[in-house]
Structure 1
Amino acid sequence: MKHCSIELAGETLWLLADKAMYWPLGKMLIVADIHFGKATAFRSLGVPVPHGTTTQNLQALDALLADYPCDEIVFLGDFLHAKAAHAPATLAAMHAWRARHPALRLTLVRGNHDLHAGDPPASLGIVMVDEPHRAGPFALCHHPDLEADGYVLAGHVHPVYHLRAARETLRLPCFLLGPSRAILPSFGAFTGGYAIRPLPDEAVFVTADSAIFRVPG
């Protein structure tokens, strides 16, 4: 199953196996913590990390746009990882991607990394907003613990869940859904994760091998 339909704040949302959320009524794709330029930032510090993560992230966005009718992408913070993300090669790839989607609305809810990295170039045509950003019944945020009027959709945590079976353990990206907020997994190809422990009133949906399913409990 590539997506799972849920009801939040009276609206139907789809949790996508590709670590994003889709709001069919708003034709909106919601992405958290893509961290463009993180690998570049590490390499600038002399850390040998893989190349090509920017291209991988952009290809992942293209795949979602091909599968889901979309008028807007909202990025829930940490679009750029650091000032090094303004490297010419990184920006060139992003501009080439933007040129393929000129009519697509892009909105960035500033996160903590964005404050340090600085806003992306205006030539990318991204609308910059501060949290909380209202869209229908939702408060689109970066930080999940922000007090907001509306059901909070946020990132920041990079949640993962340890799924155990006998002596085997899998560490999988997950969505964490509670009564007043949902935390999305990190979308970026080169990001870590924080192991969460859900509360009794929270639901966990893990993603693995292009599938998504709810963890019993």
Structure 2
Amino acid sequence: MTAMATELAGEQVLLLPQKALYWPAARTLMVADIHFGKAASFRAQGVPVPRGTTSENLAALETLLTTHDAQRIIFLGDFLHAKAAQAPATLQAMLDWRSRHRELELLLVRGNHDWHAGDPSELLHVALADEPFACGPFALCHHPGVACEGYAIAGHVHPVFHLRTARESLRLPCFLLGTSRAILPAFGAFTGGHSLIPQASDKVYVVAEDSVFLIEKR
């Protein structure tokens, strides 16, 4: 897999094809919008959707940890999708994963879904914070528009970019990096995406299979 190195607020970071950000100097991974239990929440409302998204999300986290020397994961909101995400089977899968990473620090900057779903189980040992959360030169948020000091890193909008040719069009997850804020793509399986029009100062980095690459403006 090919990550993209760039600089934010004077810090070197990596934009990862797994739709996460890695801050090597702080040994910190940042993940937005994992939405644990979203599929279970839909099934609880009678909507027939596939199972296995929690396992897929946990496997994706596992891949990040085997690839990068991280001692902390910061979740930028929407850790749980809804109250139905507190289901015993979902929690047990998360506890099994947590038992393999007891020394790993976990921090959740609460998002809008977290306020409705409730905080994660105390058994998961996830520290909790409200936005904006100051972390070095960064202000870690869920919502991109929160007033804050420092360079904001946020999620919430699940950004995707339309890559078009004469005959084809692709919707690809993307990172939007501006002069004062960055928006991360949604990390979770079964989350969808929202097409955004980048601001003039934004750099757009799309995720295509195992690579991240910069969209050159014309």
Work out the CA distance in 1 between the residues paired with 2:189 and 2:92. 18
CA offsets per residue over residues 15-66 of structure 1, 9 Å max, x none? 0011000000000000000000000000001100000000000000000100
CA offsets per residue over residues 104-149 of structure 1, 9 Å max, x none? 0000000000000000111100000000111100000000000101
What SS does structure 1 have at the residue aligned with 2:42? helix
Q: Which residue of 2 aligns with 1:141?
A: 141
CA offsets per residue over residues 131-187 of structure 1, 9 Å max, x none? 011110000000000010100000000000000011200000000010000000000
Structure 1 outlier segments of 4+, above 3 Å:
none
Q: How many residues align?
A: 217
Q: Which residue of 2 aligns with 1:125?
A: 125
Q: Which residue of 2 aligns with 1:206?
A: 206
AA aligned opposite 2:39: A
Q: Shift of the alpha carbon at 1:6?
A: 0.4
Q: Which residue of 1 aligns with 2:115?
A: 115
Q: Shift of the alpha carbon at 1:199?
A: 1.4
Alignment of 1:153-192 (within 5 A): 153-192=153-192
What SS does structure 1 have at the residue aligned with 2:106? strand
Q: Which residue of 1 aligns with 2:16?
A: 16
What SS does structure 2 have at the residue aligned with 1:157? coil
TM-score (norm 1): 0.99
Gaps of 5+ in 2: none
Work out the CA distance in 2 between the residues paired with 1:72 and 1:199. 31
Alignment of 1:18-57 (within 5 A): 18-57=18-57
Work out the CA distance in 2 between the residues paired with 1:128 and 1:200. 34
AA aligned opposite 1:107: L
Instruction: State the superposition RMSD in angstroms.
Output: 0.6
Work out the CA distance in 2 between the residues paired with 1:4 and 1:211. 8
Gaps of 5+ in 1: none
Work out the CA distance in 1 between the residues paired with 2:161 and 2:147. 25
Identity of aligned residues (%): 60
What SS does structure 2 have at the residue aligned with 1:25? helix
Q: Which residue of 2 aligns with 1:150?
A: 150
Q: Which residue of 1 aligns with 2:216?
A: 216
